[in-house]
Amino acid sequence: MRVGIGIGISALLCAMAITATALGDSAYTVEVRVAAHSGSVNTRRRVAASGQAANAGQLSVYLAPAKCVRRRSAEARLPKVKLIISATVVGIYTQSKIFTGRGIGRHYACAYLTGLAPNPGVRYAAAHVSYRVTAS
């Protein structure tokens, strides 16, 4: 009987830990999309970032000619990277912007949700998506 109770308690504690992790991870989310994954040079497209932030956070979306890096601050220092969305967000949010595809090849939209005071710059969530610019 004691073994059964011990196993039951262990299973309950594991389930509680998994639930706490899942709830903690969902407090800050970001997803990024580019409306047309492939299109010719000078084609207008929309980039959109959405998600949720339990507390106020800084949403930054960059267009980059190379794969996204881990930290927003490092992304901002890379050459040929363009900040396209910068907004303070809280709760459920969606931000979008229209841009024109330039430079033939694969490009990336890199989204970062970072903290504001008292945790400035702390990364809460990040996401990326690739898109392709083709010749006419």
pLDDT given for residue 37 in this prediction? 79
Query: How many residues in the chain?
Result: 136
What pLDDT does residue 25 have?
52
Residue 113: closest CA among 67, 50, 45, 64: 50
Number of Cα atoms under 13 Å in the Cβ half of residue 54: 8
Q: How much is the pLDDT for 121?
A: 86
Q: How many other CB atoms sit within 10 Å of the CB of residue 51?
A: 22
Distances (CA, A) of 90 to 54, 94, 99, 110: 6, 10, 24, 19
- Residue 51 pLDDT exceeds 60: yes
Task: Return the pLDDT at 100.
Answer: 93
Predicted confidence band at 98 (pLDDT cuts at 50, 70, 90)?
very high
Confidence of residue 11 (pLDDT cuts 50, 70, 90): very low
pLDDT digits (tens, 9 = 90+) for 26-40: 699 999 999 987 888
Name beta bridge partners: 107.
Answer: 131
Give the pLDDT score at 10.
44
What is the three-class DSSP state of 17?
helix
Count of C-beta atoms within a 10 Å radius of residue 33: 16
- Residues 63, 107: Cα–Cα separation, whole Å: 7
Predicted confidence band at 13 (pLDDT cuts at 50, 70, 90)?
Answer: very low
The residue-averaged pLDDT of 66-70 equals 93
Whole-number Å distance between alpha carbons of 87 and 64? 18
Domains of the chain as residue ranges with CATH: 27-134 (2.60.40.10)
